[in-house]
Structure 1
Amino acid sequence: MTASWLAAAASTAAAFLQAPAPGAVETVPLDLTGPRPIAMLQIGSGAPVRVIFDTGASGNVLDADFARAAGLPDDGPARVGTPAGGEPMIGFRTHLDGRLGNAVLGGVRAVALPMGAMQQLNVRGVFGPSTFSGRLVFLDLARGEIRVAPKTPATIPSGQAHPYSEMGPRSLPGIEVEIGGRSHHAHLDTGQPGMLMMPMTMSTDMPLDGALTDGPPARLADGVPRVVKIGRIRGTVRVGTLVLENPEVRFMEGLNRVNVGMLALRGSTIVFDPAERRTWLIPPRG
């Protein structure tokens, strides 16, 4: 292996991972033909793989087998739980350089876990808005793309911003949901393909149109099935400025918060400011 070959390889890698110019907007094309938004992740010079862009994820997750095959480092053990509790999953912390779509990733942190659910969905990971902390993340579900832009007075959206659900590293993008004159703090969750999902304990408090029926079990990241009941809320539901009429709702055992999924969000634009933990929801035009 010659010195000139090594220099050429280093030059190629540097060009591949060159940071965006100040003020530049990076884009991440999305495949919206399925129930969840799919982006393409490339680690180093490896082949691109499918990952879910999941706004309900507080951090980035990779399939452990894929992470090892990609040669990612083991930065120490990790234990990760799910919103519904249960036994934590055991994996390892890592970091990576590469691209998500056309956006450069440099030293981005992730957790590698043995997740059968990823293999069932034919994806190799889950990435969220926190990947681009310090910038604004425009998730445009009408155009099918993410735009990562510098955070300046000119790029910050007008209108009310909604705070994330909690403080700390596990906080998630939040929104106020109004049902029957009562307000509930909810997560915006593009990893959830349905309309609305709620804790099973809320099923007796909602203005439902008819009786609940059994639904297919829900599986979170750990793959454990959980009981689901399906119904329909009678009347208007307001998700921020988004209006839903008589929407379907699913109640799940173990869930601890109202969850707004992809079916409700399609056509909208969601803007994330991960560093300051705030979100703007812009309804579809027309």
Structure 2
Amino acid sequence: MKRILIPTDFSKYADQAIEAGAQIAKKNNAEIVLIHMLELPGQSNDAVTGETSIPAIMLFKQKADEILKSIKDRPYLKGIPITEVILLDNVYKGIATYANKNDIDLIVMGSHGSSGFEEIFIGTNTEKVVRLSNIPVLIIKQEVDQLDIKKIVFASDFSKEIKKPFLELLKFAKIFNAKLKLVMICTPNSFKSTTAAEKIMKEFVAEFDMPDYSMETYNDTNIEKGIINYANAKNADLIALCTHGRTALTHFFSGSISEDLVNHTSRPVVTFKI
């Protein structure tokens, strides 16, 4: 892991992501790219000839540049190579496009507690970054004094299409020397016997050089509650999910499970694209 992209809107939630990203960067001798998106009125048509004048755009850019430079001077970023980027673009498209074109290994984003996204991360922006980005996205939910990831819960249906992103998860777990807790959530609408679920999971992991790990099934009323309750029961440091590029989460994670999960858990969440 050499380059970590951290979008910032200068909110305290983005600052939490920067602190977490700094800890990961120090573990990997990685560079941090701080990116601020200037999404201005009239931009969807023409930012220059629309509602925002060129002097106003330059003023916004100058102020953003000053703040980014002040962020670089924070003590916890000392010794980490920092690149500052300001782009005039749609927030989620700009973040995903920059990450995909600039050899970014991880995107770290901040969000507001367990009650939704704030500032540039309101609503579906984070969901769309996850959906568009080919890069893993780590979502930080609260202030992190020490990002000590020792237990990672990975919830899945363990289908064939999960194999490629699962390899990325194994690399991520290796960075932290973390134990993987693999779980298949069984609900009334997607029930499997323990024997059937264990068979699927054992056949899945047999193809990989596995680190320290365990496998379990967990019963709950729905997938989202099952993941959250299982992660709470195991006191997990991180929840890992696989996402689909077209329709958020596929198969096991249908509908808006990813967005709901991120909104309703206080734990960090990392997503890997199928």
Is TM (by shorter chain) over 0.5? Answer: no
Between Structure 1 and Structure 2, the one with more strand by share is 1
TM-score, with structure 1 as normaliser? 0.28
Q: Which has the higher helix share?
A: 2
TM-score by length of structure 2 reads 0.29
